[in-house]
Structure 1
Amino acid sequence: MRIFAIGDIHGGLRALIQLLNKMEVKDEDTLIFMGDYVDGWSESAQVVQFLMELSQKINCIFIKGNHDVWCEEWLRTGEVNPTWYMHGGKETMESYEHFSNEDKKKHLEFFETMKLYYLDDENRLFLHAGFTSMHGVEKEVFSNTFYYDRTLWEMALSMDNGIKTDSVIYPNRLKHYNEIYIGHTPTINYKSYLPMNAVNVWNIDTGAAFFGKLSGMNIETKEVFQSDDLPSLYPNESGRNR
């Protein structure tokens, strides 16, 4: 059995299908999606539908991202968050144009069942953004930290990789987990088109919402698979490159 962590999709269905084909996904594999399935490219609703159907055939774990929270709220209430609308929500709403109310209800239920984090049997933590509690995710006070926080990644980047875990200056919140996998902060912000590693944190978001690629990583071997860059797959669109 292989386990893959897959980065932020942001409505790029063509990239997702291309990535899964390159990974040659098998029925016995497990796919852990790091969140932000919507907002960006033109096929957000189609991505959600595809993932719902995929999960009927293969073991999938869906982490909830901040864009998913916005979309979920719109599906539930019909109210449009102005910040969401400006950051991909407009395109997501348009992608639902030909979906029935019953379809939207099923999508809402899908969003409602997503996990804020997932901890596997090997003590590897998966979540969209980060957490701040020095006692670990179970002691986190505010749930929105799981899909908004960037301090975990910023802290990991700033650390000296030579620091031992028993050092008095080693951050307590990193000691709880063997590895931590996140998305949310595109690695292209740091001029990297590949997933990045800092101490025991792996960032799988390689900027598919913008001009980067969609990435999947085998968490055992650390082999990386990628789609083409999203602008080449959606040449008549701008994604979130506004």
Structure 2
Amino acid sequence: MRTLVIGDIHGGFRALIQVFERAEVTSNDKLIFLGDYVDGWSESAQVISFLIKFSKTNHCVFIKGNHDVWCEQWLADGNVNNVWYIHGGKETIESYKGYTKAQKQVHLDFFESMPLYHLDNKNRLFIHAGFTSMHGVKKEIQKEVLYYDRTLWEMALTMDKRIQQSSELFPKRLKHYREIYIGHTPTTRYHKYQPMNAANVWNIDTGAAFTGKLSAVDITTKEVFQSDTLMHLYPNEMGRNK
């Protein structure tokens, strides 16, 4: 059985289907999604509908991202967060046109059920953004950090590659876990269009919301599966490129 970890989708339903096809996903695969299913391209509601259905036949873990928190709040009370609205919320709201109150409730239940992180039986951590506690993710006091933090990734990027995980110089934050898989910070910010590895951290967000692609990684072999760039899949849209 493979375990595939999937980066930030941001409403790119066409890209999600492409990745599934190119990875030849079967019901024997475990899929771990790193969050931010919505906000960007025009099919956020459709992404959620598909994932709910897909999870009934496949072993899935759905981590919650910051955009998912915003969408969840809107589904719960109808209030529009202005920051969310200009960062993809407008497109997400439009994608829900035609959805009934009952259908939206199913989506709200789905968002509310999402964990903020996942630890597997091989001590691999899956989280949307990062954490700041030197004692590990379970000791994080401010839960919002788990879907907003960028310092963990920035720290991993600046590390001297000669420092081994067994060294006393290796950051205590990173020592807690065999590997850490994150999204949230697009690798396209560093002019990279493939998942990036720094220390024991793997960043799977390859900029699907912007100029990049959606990525999935086999966590055992590190084989990468990618969609086309979403700008080509949605040629009449801007995504979050505005």
Output the TM-score relative to the length of structure 1.
0.99
How far, CA to CA, are the matches of 2:170 and 2:53 in structure 1?
43
Which amino acid letter does the alignment assign opposite residue 6 of structure 1?
I
Matched, 1:99 2:99: yes
Alignment of 1:180-195 (within 5 A): 180-195=180-195
Matched, 1:237 2:242: no
Which amino acid letter does the alignment assign opposite residue 223 of structure 1?
E
Report what 1:63 is aligned to.
Answer: 63
Matched, 1:6 2:2: no
Report what 2:82 is aligned to.
Answer: 82
Secondary structure (helix, strand or coil) at the match of 1:126 reads strand
Matched, 1:198 2:198: yes
Which amino acid letter does the alignment assign opposite residue 88 of structure 1?
G
Output the TM-score relative to the length of structure 2.
0.99
Following TM superposition, by how much is the alpha carbon of 1:168 offset from its aligned partner in structure 2, in angstroms?
3.1
Report what 2:44 is aligned to.
Answer: 44
Poorly superposed stretches of 4+, deviation over 4 Å: none
- Residue deviations 1:59-103 (CA, integer Å, cap 9, x gap): 110000000000000000100000000100000000001100000
How far, CA to CA, are the matches of 2:120 and 2:147 in structure 1?
19
Report what 2:54 is aligned to.
Answer: 54
Report what 2:226 is aligned to.
Answer: 226
Q: Tell me which moved more, 116-125 or 169-178.
A: 169-178
- Residue deviations 1:162-198 (CA, integer Å, cap 9, x gap): 1123433221010000000000000000000000000
Q: Tell me which moved more, 166-175 or 40-49.
A: 166-175
Report what 1:148 is aligned to.
Answer: 148
Secondary structure (helix, strand or coil) at the match of 1:228 reads coil
How far, CA to CA, are the matches of 1:103 and 1:206 in structure 2?
30
Matched, 1:160 2:180: no
Report what 1:124 is aligned to.
Answer: 124
Following TM superposition, by how much is the alpha carbon of 1:115 offset from its aligned partner in structure 2, in angstroms?
0.9
How far, CA to CA, are the matches of 2:8 and 2:110 in structure 1?
17
Which amino acid letter does the alignment assign opposite residue 55 of structure 1?
S
Report what 1:73 is aligned to.
Answer: 73
Secondary structure (helix, strand or coil) at the match of 1:19 reads helix
- Residue deviations 1:103-158 (CA, integer Å, cap 9, x gap): 00000000000110000000000000000000001100010011000000000000
How far, CA to CA, are the matches of 1:28 and 1:112 in structure 2?
26
Secondary structure (helix, strand or coil) at the match of 1:60 reads strand
Report what 1:35 is aligned to.
Answer: 35
Report what 1:19 is aligned to.
Answer: 19
Report what 2:112 is aligned to.
Answer: 112
Which amino acid letter does the alignment assign opposite residue 81 of structure 1?
N
Q: CA RMSD in A?
A: 0.6
Give unmatched runs, 5+ long, in structure 2.
none
Give unmatched runs, 5+ long, in structure 1.
none
Secondary structure (helix, strand or coil) at the match of 1:39 reads coil
